[in-house]
C-alpha cells in the first residue's frame, strides 16, 4: 500500500509506546516537531509530529489533525532527548513528552496589551480626572491601560469616556518580555587567582562541543561566581543557559546574586509559578527571547533551541532524582541533553557524588578545584562531641558544651544554628502501659508526631491522623510518650534554654515555599539569632553573622542499612558546617553517639576525600557480580 505524503506520525502526550498516524488536512502545513492537537478517542489531546508513519494504514481509516499551533517546532535535539529518556527509563515516549508539553497555555497566541495615546483633540467636557489623564499622555507616548489607571488614580470609565470623546485612541501593543536579556558584561566579579584558573579550565571546553566539568570547591569557595562567568561566556556566544537548583526555597538568594551580576533577573521555572507565568517562560524559551533560566529539575525539558550551557548547583543533591511518573536523575539527563545539543555542563558541589567524582578521576570530566574560601573567610573549626561523655541531661538533646558555645555566640551578637535532619517532634509514639508502637496502616513505618499541628504522620506514604489522647491498643489515657528527638522537640528545648534569643524553625513542612524564602531573607537581614532547622538550611545559603553550627545526633544517617549512608552523612555534615565561616571564628559542633562511625563518615580536613572514595574497592574483591547496564534493573 502506498504511503500518502499527507499522512504523518504524531506522538501524543499520554503514556503510549509509539506515535499514531493522522491525516494532514489540505490547508495545514506541518513538519517534524510541529505541535498539534489531534483526536484521541472522544477528546482532543496535544501531540507532536514525529515524522512519516512507520506502518501503512488505509487512508479512510485515519482521522485528521484538528489543529496546528502557531509556535516554532520543537528542536531535533529535544525530540531525540524524549526518545533517549524513554529508552533509558523504560517509560513510554508519550509519558516523557508530557514533561515537554506541560504548559498548554503557552501554545495560545499571547494577548496584546491595550494602550492609549492622545489624538490631539480636546474633549468638550474637561473634568479634573480627565485632565490628569491627558497630562499623563502629554509626552505623546502610549500608556498601557493598567499603568495609566495606576498613575492617575482614575477609574477605567474615565479613560473609556475620553476614548469615546475622541481625545485618546486605543492601541494594541505586543506584551512585554517576561524578563530582559541578561548582560554578560554587566557587574563582572573580580575573581581571585584560584577562581580565575578554574574559570579558564571551564572556558577551555569547546563552546560549540559537548564537555563536562566538575567544579569541586569547598563551601564558601566562590563556585557560584565562577560558573556565573562561564554562563556569561555562553551568553556572549549567542547561546542560552540553564541553571538547575535542587531546592525551590533556595532561589531567592540565588536570583538576587544573578541580578546583581547580569543586571536583570533570569526566567524562573518551578512548581510555585502560575500557569500564566509558566506559559510566558515556555514560549520565551522556544522563540529564543529568554536567554537564561534558573529552575528545578523539570526545567530540563524546556524547549531550548540554542542551549549552550547547563549548570547543576549542588549536583550531589537527592532532590535531582524524579521518583514520580518518569523515574530519572536530572544530573544524568542534563548530561545527555548537553551531548545532544553540543553544550557544556558544569557540575558544582562541595561534596560531589560518587559517580561524578569517579568520572572526574578517570578523566571523563574535567576536574576543576577550589581549595580555599573566597576573600578572607576561613573554614570552620570542627569539634566532635562524644555524647557518651559530654551528653545532655535526661530528656534533653543539646549537649552542655554546645549550649555554652551558642550562649557565647549570642552574647557576641552573632547567629547560631542547631541542625537535626529529622522533621516533626518525635520519630516514634509509644504507649508506656502496653508498649504499643504507632505504625502506618499502609506501609508499617513509624508514625512521626508533629506536635505543632497535632497529628501523627507517615513520612513514607503521607498517611496522617490526629494525635490520639488514648492508646488505640489498650485504651489507657495519658500513657502515650514521644520517643526520640525531632526538629520541633529541639525547638521546644531551645525556647527553654535560650528564652531571649530570636528563634526561627526551618523545615520543609513548616510553611509554603514563599514563606520559607521570606524566613531566609529575614535571617540574612539579622532578624533572628538562633536558627533551628533540617537539611533545608544545609546548602546554598549565605548567613554572614552565623558563627556556630551545632549538629544534633550527627551519626543519625548511619543507622540505616544503606551502602550510601556514610557518603550522604559526610555530604550533609560538610554542607551544614559550611554555613558557618562568614563571621569569624567559625565553629562546627557535631554531636555523635558512635565515635568510630561518625569519624569515618566525615572528612578530617577540607582537602580530604569522602568515605565513598576512601573505601572504594572493586566489586570482584567483595565477590559481587559485575554490573552491566542491561542487567541493572
CATH number of the domain to which 256 belongs = 3.40.50.300
Question: What burial class does residue 605 get, using C-beta atoms within 10 Å of its C-beta: 0-12 exposed, 13-18 middle, 19+ buried?
Answer: exposed
Question: Residue holding cell 559542633?
Answer: 589
DSSP H or E stretch at residue 113:
strand 113-118
Question: Which of 463, 431, 430 has its CA nearest to residue 445?
Answer: 463
- Whether residue 22 sits in one domain with residue 140: no
pLDDT beneath 50, residues of the chain: 1-4, 592-608, 622, 628-633
C-alpha cell at 389: 561523655
362 and 391 both lie in a single domain:
no
The gap from C-alpha 492 to its chain's centroid, in whole angstroms, comes to 30
Beta-strand runs (E) in 180-325: 211-217, 240-244, 267-269, 292-295, 307-313, 321-322
**In this structure, are 432 and 417 located in the same domain?**
no
Query: Is residue 623 a part of any domain in this protein?
Result: no
In this prediction, residue 582 carries a pLDDT of: 54
Domain stop point among 78, 105, 138: 78
Closest C-alpha to 250, from 225, 231, 224: 224
Of 527, 517, 598, the closest CA to residue 556 belongs to: 598
- Are 222 and 342 members of one domain? yes
C-alpha cell read off for 234: 555562553
Q: Do 276 and 103 touch, CB atoms closer than 8 A?
A: no
In 374-516, which ranges are E strands? 381-382, 385-386, 415-419, 428-431, 447-450, 455-458, 464-466, 480-483, 503-506
Residues 601 and 569 in one domain: yes
As a whole number of angstroms, the distance between CA 572 and CA 587 comes to: 16
Dihedral pair phi/psi, residue 601, rounded to 5°: -80, -15
pTM, rounded to two decimals = 0.84
Tens digits of per-residue pLDDT, 302-330? 999 999 999 999 999 989 999 888 999 99
Q: Do the beta carbons of residue 341 and residue 77 sit within 8 Å? A: yes
Number of structural domains (the chain) is 5
Query: Residue 13: inside a domain, yes or no?
Result: yes
- Per DSSP, the residues of 39-102 read EETTEEEEEEEEES-SS---GGG--B--EE-SSPPPPHHHHHHHHHHHHHHT--HHHHHHHHT-
Shared-domain flag, residues 365 and 450? no
158 lies in the same domain as 228: no
Measured CA to CA, the distance from residue 29 to residue 148 in angstroms comes to: 42
Q: With contact defined as beta carbons under 8 Å apart, do 69 and 37 qualify?
A: yes
Using the 3D structure, point to which of 173, 202, 224 is the last residue of a domain.
173
User: What three-state secondary structure class fits 17?
Assistant: coil
User: Which region holds residue 216: left if phi is over 0, alpha if psi is between -120 and 50, else beta?
Assistant: beta
* Co-location of 168 and 275 in the same domain: no
Task: Evaluate whether residue 180 is within a structural domain.
Answer: no
366 strand-pairing partners:
213
In a domain, residue 92? The reply is: no
Residue 129 included in any domain? yes
Q: Looking at the structure, do residues 491 and 543 belong to the same domain, yes or no?
A: yes
Nine-digit cell string for 543: 548567613
184 in a domain, yes or no? no
Helix/strand/coil (H/E/C) assignment for every residue in 407-433: HHHHHCCCEEEEECCCCCCECEEEECC
Residues 416 and 454 in one domain: no
Say what the pLDDT of residue 428 is. 92
Considering the domain architecture, whether residues 408 and 512 belong to the same structural domain is answered as yes
Domain assignment of residue 46, yes or no: yes
Name the residue range of residue 445's domain.
428-472
Residue 344 CA: distances (Å) to CA of 202, 317, 321, 338, 362 = 9, 20, 21, 6, 19
In a domain, residue 91? The reply is no
CA angle 172, 183, 177 (to 5 degrees): 20
Q: Are residues 284 and 414 in the same domain?
A: no
DSSP 472: T
Helix, strand, coil fractions of the chain, as percent rounded to 5: 35, 20, 45
Amino acid at each position: 500500500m502506498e504511503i500518502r505524503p499527507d499522512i504523518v506520525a504524531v506522538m501524543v502526550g499520554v503514556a503510549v509506546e509509539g506515535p499514531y498516524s493522522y491525516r494532514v488536512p489540505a490547508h495545514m502545513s506541518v513538519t517534524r516537531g510541529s505541535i498539534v492537537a489531534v483526536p484521541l478517542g472522544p477528546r482532543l489531546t496535544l501531540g507532536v509530529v514525529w515524522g512519516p508513519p512507520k506502518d501503512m494504514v488505509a487512508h479512510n481509516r485515519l482521522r485528521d489533525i484538528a489543529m496546528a499551533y502557531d509556535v516554532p517546532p520543537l528542536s531535533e535535539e529535544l525530540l531525540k532527548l524524549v526518545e533517549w529518556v524513554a529508552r533509558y527509563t523504560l517509560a513510554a515516549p508519550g509519558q516523557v513528552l508530557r514533561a515537554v508539553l506541560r504548559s498548554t497555555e503557552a501554545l495560545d497566541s499571547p494577548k496584546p496589551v491595550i494602550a492609549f495615546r492622545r489624538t490631539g483633540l480636546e474633549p468638550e467636557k474637561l473634568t479634573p480626572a480627565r485632565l490628569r489623564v491627558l497630562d499623563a499622555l502629554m509626552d505623546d507616548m502610549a500608556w498601557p491601560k493598567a499603568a495609566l489607571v495606576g498613575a492617575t488614580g482614575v477609574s477605567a470609565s474615565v479613560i473609556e469616556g475620553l476614548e469615546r470623546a475622541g481625545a485618546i485612541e486605543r492601541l494594541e501593543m505586543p506584551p512585554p518580555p517576561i524578563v530582559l536579556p541578561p548582560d554578560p558584561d554587566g557587574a563582572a566579579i573580580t575573581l581571585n587567582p584560584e577562581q580565575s584558573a578554574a574559570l579558564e579550565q571551564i572556558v577551555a571546553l569547546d563552546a560549540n562541543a559537548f564537555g563536562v566539568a566538575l567544579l569541586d570547591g569547598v563551601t564558601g569557595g566562590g563556585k557560584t561566581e565562577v560558573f556565573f562567568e562561564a554562563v556569561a561566556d555562553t551568553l556572549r556566544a549567542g547561546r542560552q543557559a540553564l541553571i538547575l537548583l535542587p531546592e525551590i526555597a533556595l532561589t531567592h538568594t540565588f536570583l538576587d546574586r544573578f541580578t546583581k551580576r547580569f543586571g536583570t533577573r533570569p526566567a524562573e521555572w518551578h512548581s510555585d509559578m502560575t500557569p500564566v507565568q509558566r506559559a510566558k517562560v515556555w514560549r520565551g524559551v522556544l522563540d529564543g527571547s529568554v536567554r537564561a533560566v534558573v529552575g528545578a529539575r523539570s526545567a530540563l525539558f524546556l524547549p531550548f533551541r540554542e542551549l549552550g550551557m547547563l549548570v547543576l548547583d549542588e549536583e550531589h543533591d537527592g532532590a535531582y532524582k524524579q521518583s514520580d511518573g518518569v523515574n530519572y536523575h536530572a544530573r544524568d539527563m542534563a548530561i545527555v541533553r548537553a551531548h545532544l545539543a553540543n553544550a557544556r555542563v558544569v557540575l558544582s558541589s562541595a561534596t560531589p557524588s560518587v559517580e561524578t567524582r569517579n568520572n572526574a578521576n578517570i578523566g571523563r570530566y574535567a576536574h576543576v578545584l577550589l581549595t580555599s574560601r573566597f576573600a578572607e573567610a576561613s573554614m570552620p573549626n570542627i569539634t566532635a562531641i562524644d555524647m557518651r561523655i559530654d551528653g545532655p541531661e535526661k530528656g534533653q538533646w543539646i549537649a552542655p558544651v554546645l549550649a555554652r558555645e551558642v550562649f557565647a555566640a549570642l552574647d557576641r551578637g552573632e547567629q547560631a544554628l542547631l541542625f537535626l535532619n529529622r522533621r516533626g517532634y518525635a520519630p516514634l509514639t509509644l504507649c508506656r502501659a502496653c508498649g504499643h508502637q504507632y505504625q502506618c496502616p499502609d506501609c508499617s513505618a513509624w508514625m512521626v508526631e508533629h506536635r505543632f499541628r497535632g497529628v501523627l504522620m507517615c513520612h513514607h506514604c503521607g498517611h496522617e491522623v490526629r494525635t490520639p489522647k488514648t492508646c488505640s491498643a489498650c485504651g489507657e489515657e495519658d500513657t502515650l510518650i514521644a520517643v526520640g528527638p525531632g526538629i520541633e522537640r529541639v525547638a521546644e528545648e531551645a525556647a527553654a534554654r535560650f528564652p531571649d534569643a530570636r528563634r526561627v524553625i526551618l523545615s520543609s513542612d513548616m510553611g509554603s515555599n514563599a514563606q520559607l524564602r521570606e524566613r531566609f531573607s529575614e535571617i540574612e537581614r539579622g532578624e533572628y539569632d538562633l536558627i533551628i532547622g533540617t537539611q533545608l538550611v544545609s546548602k546554598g545559603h549565605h548567613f554572614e553573622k552565623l558563627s556556630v553550627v551545632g549538629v544534633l545526633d550527627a551519626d543519625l544517617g548511619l543507622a540505616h542499612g544503606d551502602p550510601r549512608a556514610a557518603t550522604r552523612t559526610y555530604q550533609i555534615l560538610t554542607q551544614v558546617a559550611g554555613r558557618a565561616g562568614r563571621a569569624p571564628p567559625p565553629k562546627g559542633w557535631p554531636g555523635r553517639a558512635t565515635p568510630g562511625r561518625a569519624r569515618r563518615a566525615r572528612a578530617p580536613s577540607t582537602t580530604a576525600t569522602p568515605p565513598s572514595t576512601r573505601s572504594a574497592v572493586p566489586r570482584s574483591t567483595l565477590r559481587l557480580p559485575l554490573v552491566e547496564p542491561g542487567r541493572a534493573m
